């Protein structure tokens, strides 16, 4: 089984070039208004579709990896590809202790590459846990996070 994600985007060629850098591979199929990435690692079928106006609304997207070393590998590769993002290490978020790296695609979709070190107790509503998606990839700290 492999998840499929289809994103409405403003500019398919621009988004396809961005995701080519993220996944280090070219789309399997591409036209002026459509691109498809068939990925084995991570297992994902990602389609980019020319938007008819509205851009899809999601809180954020993510790739969970097995270790902090894999988060670091993703971070280093994406930074070398010119995709900067905020690093959060040993952070309590979504009732788990995690390491993560954030980046944003050309349409403003926030992505995290993360690993979970341990699950934490559910102690109240998510809005009071300090979890956040960074605003505009504030690489300095989490102060720019949206609640």
**pLDDT tens-digit map of 99-134:** 999 999 999 899 999 999 998 888 877 666 666 666
Distance of alpha carbon 133 from alpha carbon 108, whole angstroms: 12
Task: Count the neighbouring beta carbons within 10 Å of the beta carbon of residue 48.
Answer: 28
> Is the pLDDT reported for residue 146 higher than 60?
no
Q: What is the pLDDT of residue 141?
A: 42
Burial 73-86 (b: 16+ CB within 10 A, else e): ebbeebeeeebebb
Rounded average pLDDT over 42-64: 84
The stretch 70-74 carries a mean pLDDT of: 96
| 138 vs 97, higher pLDDT | 97
Is there a contact between 114 and 71 (Cβ–Cβ < 8 Å)? yes
Quote the CA–CA distance of 128 and 64 in Å, as a whole number: 23
Q: Which pTM value belongs to this model? A: 0.79
- Count of alpha carbons within 13 angstroms of residue 70, beta-carbon side: 14
Q: Please report, in angstroms and rounded to a whole number, the separation of the first and last CA atoms in the chain.
A: 33
Write down the mean pLDDT value for the chain: 85
């Amino acid at each position: 089984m492999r998840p499929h994600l289809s994103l409405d985007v403003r500019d398919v060629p621009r988004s396809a070039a961005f995701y080519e850098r993220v996944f280090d591979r070219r789309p399997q199929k591409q036209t002026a208004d459509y691109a498809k990435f068939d990925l084995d690692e991570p297992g994902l079928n990602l389609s980019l579709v020319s938007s008819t106006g509205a851009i899809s609304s999601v809180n954020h997207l993510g790739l969970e990896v097995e270790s902090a070393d894999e988060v670091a590998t993703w971070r280093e590769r994406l930074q070398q590809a010119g995709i900067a993002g905020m690093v959060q290490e040993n952070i309590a978020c979504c009732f788990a202790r995690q390491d993560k790296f954030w980046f944003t695609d050309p349409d403003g979709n926030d992505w995290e590459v993360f690993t979970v070190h341990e699950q934490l107790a559910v102690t109240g509503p998510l809005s009071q846990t300090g979890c956040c998606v960074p605003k505009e990839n504030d690489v300095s700290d989490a102060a720019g996070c949206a609640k």
